[in-house]
Structure 1
Amino acid sequence: MNESTPLPEHPKLSRRFRLQFEEAQNRWVLLYPEGMVQLNDSAAEILKRCDGERSLAEIVIELESAFKVQDLMPQVSSLLEEGQRRGWVE
């Protein structure tokens, strides 16, 4: 895929993946039939909000409010673009 695919208006996790907290590793992971992806805290917070109901803008506003930071759109978009390339986000 040479051209980037636009992000969905209301991103959600692909059905192939399940977001879960792994006690043994003390971290959030994405589980899928072939394995597991370990997530950092920021990625987990973003993906927790990808429910197909919230818009990208709503996700960003919610994160900025929850963590009292501004200008998260570039970071959130970047993670979601990567997630879309890897098939995590649709």
Structure 2
Amino acid sequence: MLTTIPVIRRGFRLQFEPAQGCHVLLYPEGMIKLNDSAGEILQQVDGQRSVVEIIDQLRQRFPDVPGIEEDILAFMEVAHAQFWIELR
């Protein structure tokens, strides 16, 4: 998974929703409210960077978070299983 490039699935759109006070994934049938960690990770998903590059970027931004790599990988697995992202 580390070398794959995640892409937000077609039909989904990530945006900050002021009314919710957080990032959300919008899709035709509704909205998924994201916690802060999920929002930070998905903001890095641009269709250009691999999972390992996203991990490196977030590790630099949040150097004091222990186990950040495992958390990001676990989130990517869930996001893929929920069809929020595609892995290329």
Which of residues 30, 46, 53 is equivalent to 2:48? 53
The equivalent of 1:74 in structure 2 is: 70
The alignment's C-alpha RMSD in Å is 1.6
CA contact (8 A) 1:18 1:32 kept: yes
Does the residue aligned with 2:15 lie in a helix, a strand or coil?
Answer: strand
C-alpha deviations, 1:30-78, integer Å up to 9, x for none? 0000100000010000011111111111100100101123542211111
CA contact (8 A) 2:13 2:25 kept: yes
- In 1, Cα distance between the equivalents of 2:18 and 2:74? 27
TM-score by length of structure 1 reads 0.86
What stretches of structure 1 of length at least 5 have no aligned partner?
1-5
The equivalent of 2:7 in structure 1 is: 12
What stretches of structure 2 of length at least 5 have no aligned partner?
none
Residue-pair matches, total = 85
Which 4+ residue blocks in structure 1 deviate beyond 2 angstroms? none
CA contact (8 A) 2:6 2:49 kept: yes
Q: Say whether residues 1:23 and 2:18 are aligned partners.
A: yes
